[in-house]
Structure 1
Amino acid sequence: MEPTIRNRHITLSHIVIVLIVWSARCQAQYFSCPSRCQCYADPVDSVRSMHLICKWEQLNSSNLESITSSDAVRTLTIRCPHSMRNISTPSPRLFNALRNLDRLEIDRCLIESLPSHLFQGMTQLYSLVIRNAGLMQLPRDIFNDLSNLMALDLAGNDLRIEPYAISVLRHAIRVVCGKQKIGSSDCFGYTSKTSNSECNLIQLDLSNNSINFLSNTLVSLHRLKVLSLDENRLSNIDLRRVPNGVTDLTLRNNRINTVHSTHDSVSSLRRLDLSGNQLDFISATGTVNVLPNGLWSVDLTNNKISYIQDGAFSNMPKLTIVDLRNNSLNELREAAVSSEIRKHRLRVLLSGNPLNCMCSLRWITSPTIVDLTNVYCSHIFSRNTRLLLTDADTRGELLCKYDASCAEQCTCCFQQSCYCKSICPKGCTCWHSAAPHVTRMGRNIVECEGVRLDYLKEIPESITELRLLNGNWKEWSPKDIGPKRDLLVLNITSCNLHWLNESFLDGFPSLTQLDLSKNQLQSFPDAQLDGVADLQLLFLNDNRLSTFSAFALKRFTAISKLKLGGSTNKYMCDCENPTPLQEWFYDETNINRVLDYEDMYCELKGNGIVKIKQVDPSQNGTLCRRPTVTPIRPTTRSTVTTAASVITQARNMYCHMERADFHKRQKRVGATHTATEQQPLNCVRS
């Protein structure tokens, strides 16, 4: 009989357990979901836990009272419509029935003010979100009962300062712990010693408010790890007022131009986000704009940083990444980001900065720069020319300023005359390519502003670009600097030049760019153009020129970029007898090669000064009549014979002139050729 009785007891026990489980499941199954809410059973504890998302127009008691079986509710999200502007006035103890609530979120519900006892009895709440409610202040004791609160989100309100109610959180634990009937020294997982002085708050979000300075309110939150103050009105930040235990601090899109700190400020800080502020420098010493030493990553994008002091990141042994994109850096020295105590390679993001192509950037071509393929630099002497940094390095466009320099493996550095030695002339600024070698000198640029002509005799032999600005010389000739075989660019601008020596380009056979703009030139010795066959850029704008010879215009067709305009260049033009310059512009390809064609003027009889495009009969709005088309008549044999005779005579005359001019040019440059080579092209002696 005993086994039978034992079996009956086991069967009854099983029945009781099944009934209890079935009863609990029925309770969850028949949970009455309130109006305009979505209700979900917890995937882990579907028997006793429900989650609600409600779209109500206001935060009031009638909506909350519609929740039955409130003990089962673990999370409640209340979202008011975007379009509704009804202001809610919640009553005290509004959530008192939801004593098991873990998380409460209230979003987009405009609230006039919060009553002091709104959250009374919600001792289990660990996450509270009140976003976009228009709150300007909070009652001092509103969080008194929230002893277990770990995450607080007050973003999108209109708070002017950190709510003092947050600092009261640490006192709330003392009250709750005092009510616990426990014999051990532990209270909510912490020792009784810490429970009397610390709260559980770990994450605090005060983003999108109107906070314009930090007080000492947050300092007492010793367990706080994550602090967000994005989109406020902070103009400076004192890190001494940030809890020392914070590991993640975000201050995006404020107005911060100054960061105050000491060596022991926020010693636990690992991640710092200062993007979208107004910082203009980062320092290595002192207490202003010096970053904490314990950082692992720092985001400084979209500031106004133009200078980073050497050693600014050197005392950060665990720093792994620095984001400097979209700032105002013209230069970043390796010493600014290097560190002797750091064992790993620091990663830097640098794109979006107006870097200059300087040799101090050459280190950047190493793998340190994460976004190297997007890093550009501007040419020092042509700000509109932007080069990919790696290309600038390959092409020798990363320039170093120098006073005296001698190329690697140069053997004549201590001699008076030495091609691979460069000494910058007095009153000038000089640059050369990074790491010049005797077999690869690279670029050598000399810029002189307002300098005396006698100083130019010291210009280096290996010069590739000479820029002479704002002088007062009236005349200039090659003897002022001597022959320079590697000179590619010659810029003589605003130097009050009135005329040029007939041999002013002798000694510069490699010249590709010539800029004589903004002088007082009345004529241009066009015969010189034959000595610079590689010339691709010629600027003669803003002088006092009035005409060009047919020979000069013929040579201009081989130059890809010209500037001939300006209000002081006034050319002659005529509708009845077009000048060579007018006829030259009848070819549209010539118009395209003149960059300032729209700014060219000429003097037309009866009309005064007009734009030169207005005397082109093919242009709209022309002042000259379009030529009439004359029908072509059949030619007779005598007409053809006469025409051939005229052509032959003209050709012979041209060849005679060409030979004479050719000999003159060769004599000037000192070239020697055979008799056959001296004959001009297409001219055969009879």
Structure 2
Amino acid sequence: MDTIRANRVRTASLRGNRIEQLSADQIPDAIETLDLSANRVQHIAPATFAAKTSLRSLDLNDNRLTQLTEESLIADGVHSIDASLRGNPLRCSCELHWIKKPEVVKRKVNIVGMSETLCTHPVTGKVISLDKVDSKDLLCEYSQVCEPDCVCCQFGNCDCKAVCPSGCACFRDALFDTNVVRCENLTDVDMKAFSPSSVPISATHVYLSGLSIPILRSHSFLGRPRLEQLHINASGIRGIQPKAFNTLPKLKLLDLSDNAIVRLSGDEFHKTSAVSHLFLNGNRLRTIERGLTEKLPSLTTVRGSLST
């Protein structure tokens, strides 16, 4: 009898309790309005609301959710769910990618108060409202990942497989369009194993800082067709060999600040003509040869000055 009565419940307020997890068997199928605000919910199982076809309003404000998958929230009803998520410590994770799908937002779930619902960027730590977050900012950390339809994933050398270098932090978006690699202040052991060539081929944004790279050798960054930004800072670079930056057709920003570079001739670049921003602050530059602008015809911004 209790089960029968529970299954007929249409409105429930469980605000201010200590609920930590949600699953389908905890919630009546006939529920229309459910208030779970101010609890401790940190996990919602897949298909929790799938059979709650009458659900119209779901209040999850002020809980402990850090991530929320599409499968855990979507219901099979005709009407969309008005869901409130304010006050949760959400991460800007690739698992939130579904909120950028127009067909989901319009027909399945309406996130109430998106401008007041915030997530924290996993790389920069920046707090972004869901109405302004870009798909490229919704990132998941990985140690090794293969792109969909990758046919060589089981092999060592595979361009569609990304392996994060030891000691680094790597992130990718849901569609594999963005791939961020961050290597900072590596331990001696990790530094011995590290080389620029170990950065995944599919990387789009690379941040190297506090490393020990006195010479950037030829072909250090060779044939990375998606690389858009490359930052190598405070890593003791004294010299850069010819063609160190080789065949990087999408590279637009190169940041070499806070090193010990003395000279740039232009020979360091080969088939890397899209660079528009070059940052050289904090170096010991004495010579920048004319060949640099010839190799970088798109250059519009240069920061840094010659040492006297």
Bin the TM-score by the shorter chain. Answer: 0.5 to 0.7
SS in 2 for 1:446: strand
Q: Does 1:331 align with 2:66?
A: yes
Deviation of 1:511 after TM superposition, in Å, equals 1.2
Quickly say closer, same or farther: Cα 1:350–1:296, change in 2 above 3 A. closer
One-letter identity of the residue aligned with 1:347: D
The answer to whether residue 92 in structure 2 is matched with residue 357 in structure 1 is: yes
Q: Does the CA-based 8 Å contact 1:310-1:336 persist in structure 2?
A: no
Over residues 62-109 of structure 1, what are the superposed CA-to-partner deviations in whole Å (9 max), with x where a residue is unaligned? Answer: xxxxxxxxxxxxxxxxxxxxxxxxxxxxxxxxxxxxxxxxxxxxxxxx
> CA 1:430/1:389 → structure 2, altered by over 3 Å: closer, same or farther?
farther
- Alignment partner for residue 212 of structure 2, among 472, 482, 495? 472
Preserved contact between residue 239 and residue 261 of structure 2 (Cα < 8 Å): yes
Q: Could you tell me how far apart the structure 2 residues matched to 1:391 and 1:334 are?
A: 16
- Amino acid aligned to 1:455: F
**Counterpart contact for 1:404–1:423, Cα < 8 Å:** yes
Bigger RCO of structures 1 and 2 (CA < 8 A, at least 6 apart): 2
Deviation, 1:429, is 2.0
Using the TM superposition, give the Cα deviation of residue 434 of structure 1 relative to its aligned residue in structure 2, in angstroms.
Answer: 0.8
Cα distance in 1, alignment partners of residues 63 and 275 from structure 2: 36
DSSP-derived class of the 1:370 partner: strand
Q: Of the candidates 277, 283, 302, which is equivalent to residue 20 of structure 2?
A: 283
1:348 is paired with a residue whose SS is strand
In 1, distance between residues paired with 2:295 and 2:64?
Answer: 43
Q: Distance in 2 between matches of 1:328 and 1:469?
A: 36
Structure 1 331/484 Cα, relative in aligned 2: closer, same or farther at 3 Å?
A: same
1:480 to partner: Cα distance: 4.1
Q: 1:455 and 2:202 equivalent?
A: no
The separation in 2 between residues aligned to 1:552 and 1:371, in whole angstroms, is 52
Report the identity percentage. 22
Between the aligned partners of 1:356 and 1:417, the Cα distance in structure 2 is 32
- Kindly report which structure 2 residues correspond to 1:548-567, keeping only aligned pairs within 5 A, or say none: 548-549=288-289, 552=292, 558-564=298-304
1:215-239 deviation per Cα after TM superposition (whole angstroms, max 9, x unaligned): xxxxxxxxxxxxxxxxxxxxxxxxx
1:409 aligns with 2:146: no
Equivalent position of 1:371 in the other structure: 112
Over residues 510-562 of structure 1, what are the superposed CA-to-partner deviations in whole Å (9 max), with x where a residue is unaligned? 21111112222233334446743211222222223356446657888943444
Deviation at 1:422, TM superposition (A): 2.0
Q: In the alignment, is residue 494 of structure 1 matched against residue 234 of structure 2? A: yes
Alpha-carbon contact 1:412-1:420 (below 8 Å) kept = yes
Is the Cα contact below 8 Å between 1:515 and 1:540 reproduced in 2?
yes
Q: RMSD over aligned Cα, in angstroms? A: 4.7
1:309 pairs, out of 42, 63, 88, with: 42
- The question of whether the paired residues in 1 share the 8 Å contact of 2:265 and 2:290 is answered with no
Please give the per-residue CA displacement for 1:39-64, whole angstroms capped at 9, x wherever unaligned: xxxxxxxxxxxxxxxxxxxxxxxxxx
Query: CA 1:322/1:556 → structure 2, altered by over 3 Å: closer, same or farther?
Result: same
2:34 to 296, 305, 310: 296
Rounded to whole Å, the distance in 2 between the matches of 1:471 and 1:525 is 24
In structure 2, what residue type is equivalent to 1:425? P
Bigger-Rg structure (1/2): 1
1:446 aligns with 2:184: no
Q: Which residue of 1 aligns with 2:59?
A: 322
Partner of 1:400: 140
Q: CA 1:361 to 1:561, structure 2 compared with 1: closer, same or farther past 3 Å?
A: farther
Q: Provide the C-alpha distance between the structure 1 equivalents of 2:130 and 2:221, rounded to a whole number of angstroms.
A: 34
TM-score of the aligned structures, taking structure 1 as reference length: 0.34
| Greater strand fraction, Structure 1 or Structure 2 | 2
Q: State the Cα deviation string for residues 333-380 of structure 1 (Å, max 9, x = none).
A: 23896499x998653224687754321212334332423763565654
Distance in 2 between the 1:381 and 1:319 partners? 35
| Separation in structure 2 between the aligned mates of residue 339 and residue 434 of structure 1, nearest angstrom | 18
How far residue 310 of structure 1 moved from its aligned partner, in angstroms, is 0.8
SS at match of 2:246: coil
Do the aligned residues in 1 keep the contact of 2:56 with 2:80 (CA within 8 Å)? no
**TM-score, normalised by the number of residues in structure 2:** 0.67
SS at the partner of 1:360?
Answer: helix
Q: Structure 2 vs 1, CA of residues 410 and 536 (structure 1 numbering), >3 Å: closer, same or farther?
A: same
> 1:167-192 CA deviation, whole Å, 9 max, x = no partner?
xxxxxxxxxxxxxxxxxxxxxxxxxx
Matched, 1:426 2:166: yes
Q: Are 2:168 and 2:182, in contact at CA under 8 Å, matched by a contact in 1?
A: yes
Q: Deviations over 1:137-159 (max 9, x none)?
A: xxxxxxxxxxxxxxxxxxxxxxx
Match of 1:525 among 265, 273, 279: 265
Q: Does structure 1 conserve the Cα–Cα contact (< 8 Å) formed by 2:221 and 2:246?
A: no
Q: Aligned residue for 2:5?
A: none
Contact 1:311 1:336 in 2 (8 A): no
Q: Tell me if the contact between 1:357 and 1:392 (Cα under 8 Å) persists in the aligned partners.
A: no
Q: Is the 8 A contact 2:210 2:233 kept in 1?
A: yes
Counterparts in 2 of 1:564-583, with a 5 A limit? 564=304, 571-572=307-308
Any unmatched runs of 5+ in structure 1?
A: 1-268, 286-291, 437-441, 573-686
Deviation, 1:392, is: 2.5
**Do 2:37 and 2:63's aligned partners in 1 also have CA atoms closer than 8 Å?**
no
- Which amino acid in 1 is paired with 2:279? F
- Aligned length in residues: 278
Aligned equivalent of 2:283: 543
1:296 partner SS: strand
Q: Which has the higher helix share?
A: 1
Aligned 8 A contact 2:34 2:58 in 1: yes
State the Cα deviation string for residues 430-468 of structure 1 (Å, max 9, x = none): 2222144xxxxx222222232426433443332222222
Gaps in structure 2 of 5+ consecutive residues: 1-10
- Seen in structure 2, the aligned counterparts of structure 1 residues 535 and 272 have a Cα distance that, compared at 3 Å, is same
Question: Alpha carbons of 1:355 and 1:559: their partners in 2 closer, same or farther (altered >3 Å)?
Answer: farther
Partner of 1:362, secondary structure, is helix
Following superposition of structure 1 onto structure 2, how do residues 51-450 of structure 1 map, counting pairs within 5 Å?
270-271=12-13, 283-284=20-21, 296-300=34-38, 308-311=41-44, 320-324=57-61, 331-334=66-69, 338=73, 346-350=81-85, 355-365=90-100, 366-367=104-105, 368-371=109-112, 374=115, 379-383=121-125, 392-393=134-135, 396-436=136-176, 442-449=177-184, 450=186
Contact 2:80 2:110 survives alignment (8 Å): no
User: 2:182 aligns to what SS in structure 1?
Assistant: strand
Paired residue type of 1:539:
F
CA contact (8 A) 2:249 2:272 kept: yes
Q: Distance in 1 between matches of 2:202 and 2:74?
A: 38
Matches within 5 A, 1:615-634: none
